[in-house]
Every structure is written in C-alpha cells, then in structure tokens.
C-alpha cells in the first residue's frame, strides 16, 4: 500500500524539516564561532556606584576618589599597563589622549577571568587662569604631586582623567594601546570629566 500525503501532512513535514535544518545551522554557527575576547574597564565612584555622564565639579584642592577596575577576558594570562592621564576637554587629534599629560602607569598581571581594582584619589593642586580657560599645572594622585601642563577649553573649565589599558606585545617588546586577538583589533580606554569651578586660588 502506498502512503498518501494530503496538503496538511506535507506542510507539517516541510515545517519540521525546515526547523530541523535551521536549528542544525544555528548550532553549527555557535560551535564554529570563537568566543569574543576583550579587556573590560570600569570606573566607579567612592561608594561603588557608576559615575554619571555629567562632569564632576571640583575646586582647587578638592579630592575625587574613584575605583578603576580592569578585567581580563582574553582567554589567556595578560600583562597590562594601566596608564592614567589628564587632558583638556577637546582635542583636534584622532586619539582622545593626544596632548594629555601622563600621570602614572601601573603594571598588572591578570589571569584569564582575573580582575584588579585600583583606588585612586585625584586633586588639582595647582592651576592658573589663561584668558577664558584654566591651565592645570599640578595634580595630586594618591598623595603624590605631579607637575603637568594641560589647558581646559576656551568656553569652560572642563578637563578629563583618561585611563587606558596597554597590552604587552611579545612581537614589539613593549606595551601597546591596540592589539589583535585573532578576530579584530581592540583597544580599552575610558575617561571621566571634571569641571574646575571658579574660585580656585589662581
């Protein structure tokens, strides 16, 4: 006896086969796609909450306490230098840290999945008026005073603290700001804005 299929049976069979094909294809895609590898960075306020988008208001000598967190998701142990800079509120250069002053570099060794949390306390301890802008001449970072020379914009007194993760490159023999993990190029950096309010002892 020859089995007969009516239109409804045909549609059901076609739907089941199509679903099975799609599921097999998706499963292949999931299994064949390598996991994403990256370095994660966060900056939290002193009480552990995320910083808002608005610039933090500071007077000369005010302290800004933050917690900088770096996480390794590169599937291998990584050597990282966390570079901290101060920069003006705008730059004509492509990189946001161009024209900034380096404050410090901290070298870390992170296992895969590892995390390092670094408390930092900033204070502007030296500044002078430059027309409509302010020139920052000294920063105190974790109790150490560091001479700098960074100007704010001409219409405000907004500046930035910048953090970027430099990854050790065996090929170049140095820490590099951008790297290729076999999938695409990556760079890890972030910034927080602050406004130096009028009333500084310039």
pLDDT of residue 142: 95
What whole-number distance in Å separates Cα of residue 96 and Cα of residue 6? 67
Residue 156 lies in a domain: yes
pLDDT digits (tens, 9 = 90+) for 94-114: 666 677 899 999 999 999 999
Which pLDDT tens digit goes with each residue over 144-190?
999 999 888 766 678 889 999 888 988 889 998 876 665 556 778 88
Q: Which one, of 161, 54, 58, lies nearest residue 100 by Cα?
A: 161
Q: Are residues 28 and 116 in the same domain?
A: no
Q: What's the pLDDT at 63?
A: 93
Q: Say whether pLDDT at 91 is over 60.
A: no
Same domain for 17 and 82?
no
CA dihedral (94, 171, 85, 113) positive or negative: positive
Q: What domain range is 4 assigned to?
A: 1-33
**Is 201 a member of any domain?**
no
Q: Quick one: 43 and 26 in the same domain?
A: no
Regarding whether 77 and 58 lie in a shared domain, the answer is: yes
Same-domain check for residues 54 and 68: yes
Q: Express each pLDDT in 34-82 by its tens digit.
A: 567 788 888 998 888 877 667 788 889 999 999 999 999 888 899 999 9
pLDDT of residue 96: 67
Asked if the structure places residue 202 within a domain, the reply is: no
Chain segment 11-25, per-residue pLDDT in tens: 555 465 556 555 554
Residue 18 shares a structural domain with residue 51: no
Looking at the domain assignment, is residue 73 inside a domain?
A: yes
Verify that 46 and 104 share a domain, yes or no.
Answer: yes
CATH code for position 54: 2.60.40.10
> H/E/C letters for each residue in the chain?
CCCCCCHHHHHHHHHHHHHHHHHHHHHHHHHHCCCCCEEEEEEEECCCCECCCCCEEECCCCEEEEEEEEEEECCCCEEEEEEEEEEECCCCCCCCCCCCEEEEEEEEEECCCCEEEEEEEEEEEEEEEECCEEEEEEEEECCEEEEEEEECCCCCCEEEEEEEEEEEECCCCEEECCEECCCCEECEEEEEEEEECCCCCC
Asked whether residue 90 is assigned to any structural domain, the reply reads yes
Residue 113 and residue 45 share a domain: yes
The answer to whether residues 73 and 7 belong to one domain is: no
Least confident of 84-88, 89-93, 148-152, 186-190: 89-93
| The pair of three-digit structure tokens given for residue 139, joined into one six-digit string | 């920063």
Same domain, 83 and 183: yes
On whether residue 62 sits in a domain, the answer given is yes
Answer yes or no: is 155 within a domain.
Answer: yes
> How many domains is the chain built from?
2
pLDDT of residue 154: 64
pLDDT at 28: 46
Residue 176 lies in a domain: yes
Q: Which pTM was predicted? A: 0.76
> Are 97 and 73 in the same domain?
yes
Predicted local distance difference test score (pLDDT) of residue 11: 59
């Amino acid at each position: 006896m020859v089995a007969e299929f009516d239109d409804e049976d045909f549609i059901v069979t076609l739907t089941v086969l199509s679903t099975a094909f799609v599921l097999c294809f998706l499963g292949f895609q999931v299994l064949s796609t390598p996991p994403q590898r990256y370095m994660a960075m966060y900056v939290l306020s002193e009480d552990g909450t995320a910083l808002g988008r608005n610039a933090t208001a500071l007077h000369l000598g005010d302290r800004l306490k933050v917690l900088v967190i770096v996480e390794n998701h590169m599937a291998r142990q990584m050597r990282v230098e966390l570079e901290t800079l101060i920069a003006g509120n705008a730059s004509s250069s492509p990189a946001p840290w161009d024209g900034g002053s380096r404050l410090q570099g901290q070298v870390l060794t992170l296992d895969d999945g590892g995390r390092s949390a670094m408390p930092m306390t900033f204070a502007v301890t030296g500044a002078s008026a430059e027309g409509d802008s302010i020139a920052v001449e000294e920063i105190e970072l974790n109790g150490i005073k560091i001479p700098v020379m960074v100007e704010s914009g001409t219409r405000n007194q907004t500046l930035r603290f910048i953090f970027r993760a430099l990854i050790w490159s065996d090929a170049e023999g140095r820490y590099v700001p951008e790297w290729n993990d076999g999938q695409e190029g990556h760079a890890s950096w972030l910034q927080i804005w602050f406004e130096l309010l009028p009333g500084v002892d310039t």
